[in-house]
Amino acid sequence: MRLTSKAIEVVAPGSLVLETAYLDLSALAWGAPDQTPVLALHGWLDNAASFVPLAPFFQGRRLIAMDLAGHGQSAHRPPGTHYHFLDHVQDVVAAANALGWGRFHILGHSLGASVALFVAALIPDRVLSLGLIDGYGPLTAKPEDGPAQAAESVTRMLALPGRVSHQYPDIETAALARSRAGDLRLEDARLLVARSLRPNRGGFAWRSDPKLRVRSPFYFSEDQVAAYLARVLCPVQLVLARRGYLVDRPQMAARCACTPSLQIHHVDGGHHVHMERPEAVARALAGSFPVCGERPA
């Protein structure tokens, strides 16, 4: 991947709707249909616009950044249903099928990176490579904590119908709130909330499904996650942000040891390092998604 300032051309994305058998998933698209297929998966409560700063550095690829179910402009799951981690995995496979992609690459951030790993574990013959950003597997819990977590989840889910969606007078106020809620620059928050808001009573409310904020009733154990990671056969490039969420997490060493093909790169920045420093992240992932005529790194 050649990255020079003169070579980078900012191209506005197109819009797609990926029609699966059970729900429609919205997406942003760059590149031509005959170029290297790369499916991009964003983080929790983000959306496809998360990849807008990074997209110019992936010229020569057909980059499709999808809104995960319940996020951005994608459809919500039916009332009363949870957003189980494996449901996102199924959605990604369904999206690739809707695109007509037999084999493809995956670019993932945070939750999207974790989903990407499980997709590669379940359909290893179809995933060519992974480029992951500050995410390496789902949240886990000890089995003995399961009942209490499930009880909390059920209680919160049943209380949702009575809750009123938070209202913002304008997009800038929502962007400020999003920026303060996490490690996110205001300019990046503006980019995300523009796709995450809907008009409501003279102001704006979140498009995202409120059920996404309900704690999952089920978490994998570390042993279960290790079993999935061991099935990832394709090359994996992982960018770790030096101020990201994975810094000093004790389980990371054991997880990384499960994937022999893993290469790790450290980049200065916070959890949304791909928005803060897109060129540096693209350099770290160079070769993960080769265009025609290039050799994989």
Catalytic residue IDs: 110
Any alpha helices (H) in 4-51, and if so which ranges? none
Alpha-carbon span 105 to 296, nearest angstrom = 12
Distance between CA 229 and CA 256 in Å, rounded?
Answer: 8
Calculate Rg over the CA atoms of the chain: 19
Q: Count the neighbouring beta carbons within 10 Å of the beta carbon of residue 180.
A: 10
First-residue to last-residue Cα distance in the chain: 10
Distances (CA, A) of 72 to 9, 76, 149, 248, 254: 25, 10, 27, 31, 33
- Ranges assigned E (strand) in the chain: 14-19, 24-30, 36-41, 61-66, 104-109, 127-133, 197-200, 203-206, 236-243, 262-270
H-helix or E-strand spanning residue 178: helix 171-181
